Amino acid sequence: MAKDLIIVESPAKVKTIKKFLGNKYAVQASVGHIRDLPTHEIGVDEEHGFTPRYETIRGKEKVVKDLQDAAQKAETVYLAPDPDREGEAIAWHIAQVLKNKATSIKRIQFNEITARAVKNALEHPHEINTDLFCAQQARRVLDRLVGYKISPLLWKTVKRGISAGRVQSVALRLIVEREEERLAFAPQEFWTFKAHLAAAEPPVFQAELVKLDPAFIRESKTFAQGANKDKNAKKALIPNQEAAEQLEKAMKGKPFAVTAIEEKERSRNPMPPFTTSTLQQTANQRLGFTAKRTMSTAQKLYEGVELGEKGTTALITYMRTDSVRIADEAKKAACAYIGEKFGEKYLAPGKNGRSFHGKESAQDAHEAIRPVDINLTPQDAKPFLTQEQFRLYELIWRRFVASQMAAAQFFDTAVSLSCGPGQWKAKGERMLFAGWLAAMTRGTDDEDKLLPHLDQGQHVSLLKMEKEQKFTQPPSRYTEASLVRELEELGIGRPSTYATIISTIQDREYVRLEDKHFVPTDLGNVVCSQLREHFAKLMDVGFTAEMEDNLDKIADGKLAWVALMDEFAHEFNPTLAAASKNMARIKSGVATNVACPECGRPMVVKFGKSGEFLACTGYPECRHTTNFTRDEKGEIHPVSRPAEELKKVGTCPKCGGDVVLKRSHTGSRFLSCANYPKCDYAAPYSTGVPCPKCGNGFLVEKSSKRGKIFYSCDQYPKCDCAVWDWPVARPCPKCGSPILVIKTTRAKGRHLACPNIKCRYTQELDENT
């Protein structure tokens, strides 16, 4: 008897599903998309309804043939890619290549990879949602037209190999314009006062100056005109040192008296369980994960992890969702767990658990991100997970448990005090009941901030008064978390695309990370400037958000995708034609006010394969180049060549000259002939450690486009061995890995470790290392 065939996206899912379906079904993977638009041409017939021409993705020919062979043997083929637009498109394309091979093709979906969810899906198959597929197709065609038609203009005018994107370019604009705001910002001086006070009973507490007596301001000539005229002003405006010293003098020797005490109880409800966006934001803030790292780790937790005797087990529900809805069964399981582990008083009010309401624009097809089994605690799973899997699972698990718990209760105290012309405020907080916070890890900042017992009219003692000069700060640069939040609030892209958007603008070297904040590069500024000038509407935030709404309408069957394409092309094509004629060429470089130290001619910023650099405009007579940095004001500072570049390390095998050590623009060291450019000899900087994978090469120092150093086999691409840390030619005594690496962590400092992620062997560095 023929087996029914289930086709999923990833091989990891195959293993998980087979575990609980047994031999009744055949399960195979498409390994993602099997068809797409052609690579080297637009592949869209604009004259005939924007018909896309799809072809099998290179390297997927065998996957397609295996699926066709399996489909011919099956009674029914169940298409089970992920339950979203992208998954629907994968299912549609698989159906197209199987339609002449399979007897019956059905679509099934599940939000979690459990026996119950998969069996329930098999009992309720349905047809492919063509509206959902058309929404994905419209997005794909839109992005293809924008990318393939604008990118060549950037190649011609700026630098070959860069790209424009319908959504990525708007994300770049946000980063560029935030930097422009920062550069235009004029900081204003102000001063703050804090008082360390003591009452008859401990503890010592702090009060902050919040207001000044209007009469004092009127009589003073040192305060800015109009300062503190606003009766609702929360802060006292002290504009300069003279004003601060005058105020300090006016308060010196004056008593601090309690003028008012306000006490009240406050409740704080838990946050809803994670959506894709909030998971990316929180993982970035708490764990330091990039959006890409968060999504790839979550994907593994969703598809299944080997848990010893339990076998391959899915740990979380589907991780691409903007809904905060929770299934009733999951609520019941959470309530049972909370009641047993914490006690009944920690349960959220009501019989049916706590519900949350998301944004009106949220797609409610899937639940929020939650653990599949609430009873599988992070500590239980920890021995089987990588560190990043454990940390992300713990984050998801705790957030979900907390969402079904009672509110935390606090007792807040706000004390107003007076001293001379100053009005002061001290705040205290005391937790009465932890509620949902019992399930969360709390930092030192969350500890109770207590005030002593105080009575109205009471005088307290001044232990120390601190005044501090400060300056107003420009708007903060975007972090990954704040950029994701901004994209979501503006309706740009979708949470499932944020990781790709952020990776793309980094890979194209339009932005770089500086202390975890995005800074636009000169290349990013130039590209953004070109696009803002010549494609104003395409770069408009409102237009991009409106396009996302229209894609949602297509998915809901309220708008035809070809009609949307017609409307878009009607305006886009004339704009493109105008840009082709008018876009300025910047390939010769961006002008600077820096003079060449060798010939005195102006230098320009140029965009090379390894990043940005300064080059003399006197080329080829003068070949001087150098790296550079920009300060907070955007001013360029050439970087002098490091001393190690002048260090002789050998003799050139090509011309007999000196070989010196240099650094690439991205930071890795390499060997070069001192007679360059007359002699072009160059070689990578070798660690001297034989490659542990092929044994034919040596590990050499390299750097990524983003400047991260790593060590890879010099036989690449024949051998793809690479490690992130300095290798040591010493075998691991635990797993037998041919090498160890030198790592540095906060907990252990510098130490030896095994590069095999499944082996946790470490040892102290010795004198011979």
* Catalytic (active-site) positions: 318
Give me the residue label for tokens 């306000």.
262
Q: Which amino acid is at 495?
A: P
The span from the first CA to the last CA of the chain, in angstroms, equals 63
Q: Using the Cα atoms of residue 316, residue 88, residue 275 and residue 119 in order, give the sign of their dihedral.
A: negative
Q: How far is CA 107 from CA 17, 95, 128, in A?
A: 16, 9, 6
CA separation for the pair 279, 102 (Å, rounded): 40
Q: What is the DSSP string of 103-116?
A: S-EEE---SS-SHH
Amino acid identity of residue 5, one-letter, is L
CB within 8 Å of 129: residues ≥ 6 apart: 88, 107
| 714 C-beta neighbours (distance < 10 Å), count | 16
d(CA 192, CA 117): 59
Within a 10 A sphere around the Cβ of 64, how many other Cβ atoms? 18
Name the DSSP letter for residue 385: S
In whole angstroms, what is the distance from residue 528 CA to residue 510 CA?
A: 9
- Whether residue 375 contacts residue 318, with contact meaning beta carbons closer than 8 Å, is answered with no
CA nearest 462: which of 211, 210, 259, 194?
Answer: 194
Q: How big is the CA angle at 712 (ends 707 and 713), to the nearest 5 degrees?
A: 150
State phi, psi for 455 to the nearest 5 degrees: -120, 150
Supply 710's token pair.
Answer: 């790593």
The distance of Cα 279 from the centroid of its chain, to the nearest Å, equals 10
- Residue whose structure tokens are 């100053």: 422
Handedness of CA 702, 708, 709, 714 (dihedral sign): negative
User: Which parts of 472-610 are beta strand (E)?
Assistant: 511-514, 517-520, 590-595, 602-608
Buried b (16+ CB within 10 A) or exposed e, 415-436: bbbbbbbbbbebebbebeebbb
Within a 13 Å sphere around the CA of 526, how many CA atoms are in the beta-carbon half? 26
- On the question of a cis peptide bond just before residue 717, with omega within 30 degrees of 0, the verdict is yes
Residue 39 CA to residue 205 CA, distance in Å, equals 66
- What value, to the nearest 5°, has the Cα angle with vertex 466 and ends 461 and 472? 140
CB 366 within 8 A of CB 494: no
Sorted by sequence, the CB contacts under 8 Å of residue 576 that are 6+ apart come out as: 149, 150
Q: How far is CA 321 from CA 86, 127, 302, 315, 324, in A?
A: 13, 22, 13, 16, 8
SS3 for 490? Answer: helix
Residue closest to 170 by CA, chosen among 592, 632, 524, 672: 524
Q: How far is CA 598 from CA 509, 594, 617, in A?
A: 29, 12, 12
